[in-house]
Structure 1
Amino acid sequence: MKGPLRGSLLVAGTTSDAGKSVVTAGICRWLARQGVAVAPFKAQNMSLNSFVTNDGAEIGRAQAMQAAAAGVEPEAAMNPVLLKPGADGRSQVVVLGQAVAEVGALDYRERKPALLRIALDCLADLRARYDVVVCEGAGSPAEINLRDRDIANMGLAVAAGLPVVVVGDIDRGGVFAAMYGTLALLSAEDQRHLAGWFVNKFRGDVRLLKPGLDMLEQLTHRPSLGVLPMLPGLWLDAEDSLGLAGLLDRAPGAAAVGGEVLRVSVLRLPRLSNFTDIDALAQEPGVLVRWATRPEELADADLVVLPGTRATVADLAWLRERGLDAALARRAAEGRPVLGVCGGYQMLSRTITDQVESRAGVVAGLGLLPVRVEFAAAKTLARPVGSAYGETVAGYEIHHGVATVEGGQSFLDGCREGAVWGTTWHGALENDGFRRAFLREVAALAGRDFTPAPDTSFSAARERQLDLLGDLIETHADTDALRRLIEGGVPSGLPFVPPGAP
C-alpha cells in the first residue's frame, strides 16, 4: 500500500449486466487486501434477490456479496432503496431495509427527490465511517428519459461529487460505440464526472484491442483503466434474471464420491426470487442442476426444487398452466423428492389466502403439504438458526406469507410429508453439514448410488470467487489511476464531447 487512501468512486455501466457488480466487488476486495476500510454502496437497486442483515433489514444480495468482498458486515445504508418488481407492473419499495409501499413507475418517480436525500445521507454516513466507499450505479447513466430524477447514476455522482468509471461488456459487441454514446448523451455537467473506461469480459489477445482503446481515448479524452478478461464459471449473487443464463453453466471441480450423478431440476418461475439458494447445490461435486419449465424436464430428476418468488399466486397459476402441478403430484405420490423454499413452499400448501400481494383471496395450493398460508401486511425479515439431521442450520427469511403447519414432520420451521419438504428459510443449503445430510436422504429416496463429498465448503468456494475478483482488478486494472481517482475526486479540465463530434 502506498499510503493512506480516502475517497469514493462510482462504477457505472453502458448497460445492465455489463459487470458493474463484479467490478465494484473486485475493487472492494483489492482495497480490503491492502488494509483499507472499504464499503460498497448502491443508492437504488431493482432486484428480486435480496438478503437480510443482522438487524433485520432487507438489501440487495449484490450489496451483501460486495460487503463480503470488503470483509465487512452488510447493512441497510449500503442499499438504502430496493425495488422488488411484482406480477402487476408494480414494485415493492424497500427503504432502509423496510417495505414502505407498492407503486407503479410513475408513482415511484414522484418519490425520487425524497429518496435521493435518504441515499445521500446514507452515503455520507458510510464515508464518515469508512476510508473508501465504492458506489455501484444502476442500468446505464445515459438513460436520458430518466435523468431529471436519477438517484443512482449521474444524479448521485453530481450531488455527492463522485468520479465515475464506466464498464462496457465487450462480449455483447459494440463496446466502443456504447462507451462513446454513453458519454455523448450526457450533459456537460455530467460529463465532467465521467473519468475513465473499463472493458469487461474480453476474450483473446489484448493487443488486438489496443488501437480501438487508443482511438476511444482520443475521441473522449478519457483513459482506459483496464481490460478485464472473461472469467468462465464465475458465479456471484446475480442481481436479476439477466444473471440466470450462466448461473448453472459451470461444473464443480471434483467428482462425486459415489458412482452416480444426482440430478436436480429447479423450476424457472417467471418472478423467480432469491435464486442464489441453488448456488450451493450447483457447486456440490456430482450434483447436476438445471432449469425446468416443462413437465418432461422433471421426469428423470432425483430432486425438484420450487424456489422463491415475488408473486406466489401468479407463479402458481403459471405452473398449473404448464401441467407442472400434475407432474409434482405424481412425484409426491411415488415418494420422489420435492423441496419448496419460501414462495415454493407456499405453493405446496393446501390453501393460500392472499389479500396483500395478489389480492386474490383464497386460492388452492398444490396440496402436497399439510399447511395453510395466509399473507400478512407486515413482511417477516429474520435470520433464524435451528437444526435438521443433527446439523446446525442458519438461514434468512423474507416473506409476507405466514404458514400454519397442520401435520407432517417439523423441518426448519416448515414441514415434511413423505418425500416433500418445505421451508421459509433461504440460504439453508449453504450450511455444508445440513446440505450433505439432505442430499444423502434425497439420493436414498431416489435410489441413487451417490455420496456427497465430505469436504466441500460453500463459504470457502465463495471466498475463492471473491479473491478472483480482487485478482481481476489487481492484475488487469490500472490501480494507480484508480487510487488517484478515489483520492483526488472528480478530475478537473475534462473536455465536453458533443454528440457527433468525430
Structure 2
Amino acid sequence: MSGALLVTGTTSDAGKSVVAAGLCRWLARSGLRVAPFKAQNMSLNSVVTPDGGEIGRAQAMQAAACGIEPSPDMNPVLLKPGGDRRSQVVVRGTAEGEADAVTYHDHKERLRAVAAQSLAELRARYDVVICEGAGSPAEINLRSGDIANMGLARSARLPTLLVGDIDRGGVFAGLHGTLALLEPADQELVAGFVINKFRGAAELLDPGLGMLERLTGRPTLGVLPWLDGLWLDVEDSLGLGAERGPTGTPRGTDPLRVAVVRLPRISNFTDIDALTVEPGVEVRFVTEPHELADADLVILPGTRATVADLDWVRQRGLDVALLRRAQRGRPVLGICGGHQMLAHEIHDSVESQRGTVPGLGLLPTRVVFAPQKTLARPRGSAFGYPVTGYEIHHGTATVNWDQAAPDTVPFLDGCRSGSVFGTTWHGALENNDFRRALLADIAQRTRRDFVPAPDTDFAAERTARLDALGDLVVNHMDTEAVWRLITAGPPEQLPVVPPAGAG
C-alpha cells in the first residue's frame, strides 16, 4: 500500500506537529512502515541527518516516532529566517542561499517540483506518509504559491485533517472560517476536524461539535485533551514560555537556576530541553540584565544571526552583566552562535556582511564565517564521558592558545576559560553522563547543594513522550475513520461551505 494524509492547522502552533507525530507513532506501533513529511518548513530549530543534510527538528522528532532515521526528503524545503524579510533557503538538506519574500516566489515552481519528488520517493519506500502543513491553509494571499498545504494536498490528492487549538479560544470559528476561505477544490479534500488542547468535560463540546458538522458536513475525528509534558522538540518560538519544562518535575527548595538568554533570532533552543527534565533544575528564558543576577548558569544559545543578536545583547546591557559574571567566576555556557559571541573577534562577511567586529571577549577565540555551512554529527568527550552532538554553522571558532589564560582548557570542539564554556555542538546536553557532570561542576562552582539525579535518561523521556502522543491518538481519535482516509483517500462529494457574506 501507499497511503498518505495531510495534517493542517487553523494557525501556527495549533498542534499540527503533535498530531502528525501521534499519528506516526500509532501507525508505527501497529507494525506499518511510516514516514513523516513537511514540504516546506520555516523554523530555526533544525538537525543534521545521518547523510549530512539539514531538516527541521519537528520532522526529525516525527521520524523518531516512526522508529526511523530522518532524511532530507522528509523536509525538502527549509526556510531559516535571518530577519523580518530574508531567509536562508535549504533544499533537500543543503543551503542554497538567501531569499526575501519577493524573490523566493520566483523559486516556487522549482521547489514545488522538488517537494513533489520527495513525497513520491517517500511513498514508494513506506506504507504510509503522514504529511504536515505549514502555518494555516487559509493564508489566501499566499495560496497561488502554496506548496505545503492545500497546494500539496490538491497535487497529490491527499485527504486532509484540520486541527484547531481550543486553548486559544474561538476554535469553532477558526475551523469553520478556515474551511470557508478555501477554494471549493481545496475544501473537497478536507475530510474532518481535530480539536487540540481541550480542558474540561468533553460533553460540554457536544452541541458545538454537532453544529459544526451540520454547518460543514464534516465530522470531528478527535478531541485531544490538554497533556503536560509535550514541550520537547517544538518547532518555533511560539512554544517558548518564560519557564520551560514539565510542570511535574520536582525543583526542590533550592534549585539550580539556569537562565537562557532569549535572543531575537534564537535557534535550536531545543538544546535546553534536556536540562528541563532534571530534578532540581529550573530553566528560565530571560531578556534583561537583572534576570541573570541569581542564575547559577547563564546560557547563550544558538542564533541565526550572530552579529545582529550580539548588537541586541549590547543594547540591552547584557554584555556588561555577562562580563561581571565571568569576573566573579559565575558560569556561562555559549552554544554555537552563543559560543561565537563569546569570542574576542568575529569576522563575518557572510551573514551580516559587517566584516570584523568585536565579540564579548570572554573566550580567547576568533570566529571566521565561511560561505559553506558546516553540517556534521561529531563525537568527542568531556568530563571523562563520551559526547555526541551535531553542528550547523557558518562561523568557526579557533582558540588562540598563545593568548589564552593559564586555566583555559579544551571543551568539546571549543574551550573553557575560567567559568566560561563554549562549543558549537548542539545536542550535547542530551548525553546523560556529560550533562550530569556539567551540572555537578556548575553546582561546585556556585556552591549549590545540588547533586544531579543518577537515573534521569533524556532519550527515555523523549520515547515516553512519543508514546504519550501515540496514546492520545488511540484513545481520543476515531482511528478507524482516519485509517479509511489513509487507505481510501478523501470522501466523495464533501459539501462546499460558502464564505461569510456569499450568496
Which category describes the TM-score, using the shorter chain as reference length?
A: over 0.9
Query: For structure 1, which segment, 79-88 or 419-428, has the greater mean C-alpha deviation from structure 2 after superposition?
Result: 79-88
Q: Gapped runs of 5+ residues in structure 1? A: none
8 Å CA contact 2:191, 2:218 repeated in 1: yes
Match of 2:56 among 48, 60, 68: 60
Partner of 2:90: 94
Partner of 1:385: 379
Give % identity.
Answer: 67
Partner of 1:267: 261
Quick check: 1:318 aligned with 2:312? yes
Match of 2:276 among 282, 286, 291: 282
Distance in structure 2 (CA, Å) of the matches to 1:496 and 1:455: 55
Distance in structure 2 (CA, Å) of the matches to 1:247 and 1:110: 41
Distance in structure 1 (CA, Å) of the matches to 2:85 and 2:315: 21
Partner of 2:405: none
Partner of 1:163: 159
Cα-to-partner distance string for 1:421-446 (whole Å, 9 max, x where unaligned): 00000000000000000111110000
Closer/same/farther in 2, CA of residues 247 and 335 from structure 1, 3 Å limit: closer
TM-score, normalised via structure 2 length: 0.97
8 Å CA contact 2:243, 2:285 repeated in 1: no
Partner of 1:356: 350
Distance in structure 1 (CA, Å) of the matches to 2:251 and 2:294: 20
Quick check: 1:234 aligned with 2:225? no
Partner of 1:417: 417
Closer/same/farther in 2, CA of residues 55 and 106 from structure 1, 3 Å limit: same
Q: Gapped runs of 5+ residues in structure 2? A: 402-407
Counterpart of 1:117, as a letter, is A
Distance in structure 1 (CA, Å) of the matches to 2:209 and 2:134: 24
Partner of 1:374: 368
Distance in structure 1 (CA, Å) of the matches to 2:320 and 2:351: 25
Q: How many residues align?
A: 496
Partner of 2:286: 292
Quick check: 1:43 aligned with 2:19? no
Match of 1:309 among 300, 303, 313: 303
SS in 2 for 1:393: strand
8 Å CA contact 2:80, 2:304 repeated in 1: yes
Partner of 1:215: 211
CA offset at residue 113 of structure 1?
0.8
Partner of 1:114: 110
8 Å CA contact 2:377, 2:391 repeated in 1: yes
Closer/same/farther in 2, CA of residues 458 and 252 from structure 1, 3 Å limit: farther
Partner of 1:488: 488
8 Å CA contact 1:252, 1:285 repeated in 2: no
Counterpart of 2:341, as a letter, is M
Distance in structure 1 (CA, Å) of the matches to 2:457 and 2:348: 39
Partner of 1:432: 432
8 Å CA contact 1:252, 1:282 repeated in 2: no
Task: Kindly report structure 1 stretches of 4+ aligned residues shifted beyond 6 Å.
Answer: none
Quick check: 1:147 aligned with 2:143? yes
Closer/same/farther in 2, CA of residues 225 and 88 from structure 1, 3 Å limit: closer
For residues 445-460 of structure 1, the aligned pairs below 5 Å read 445-460=445-460
Distance in structure 1 (CA, Å) of the matches to 2:455 and 2:93: 35
Cα-to-partner distance string for 1:167-198 (whole Å, 9 max, x where unaligned): 00111111111111111111111111111000
Match of 2:76 among 63, 71, 80: 80
SS in 2 for 1:245: coil
SS in 2 for 1:177: helix
CA offset at residue 6 of structure 1?
4.0
CA offset at residue 91 of structure 1?
0.3
Counterpart of 1:378, as a letter, is Q
SS in 1 for 2:381: strand
Counterpart of 2:198, as a letter, is F
Distance in structure 2 (CA, Å) of the matches to 1:385 and 1:469: 31
Counterpart of 1:167, as a letter, is V
Counterpart of 2:386, as a letter, is T
TM-score, normalised via structure 1 length: 0.97
Cα-to-partner distance string for 1:89-142 (whole Å, 9 max, x where unaligned): 210000000100201001001111110100000000000000000000000111
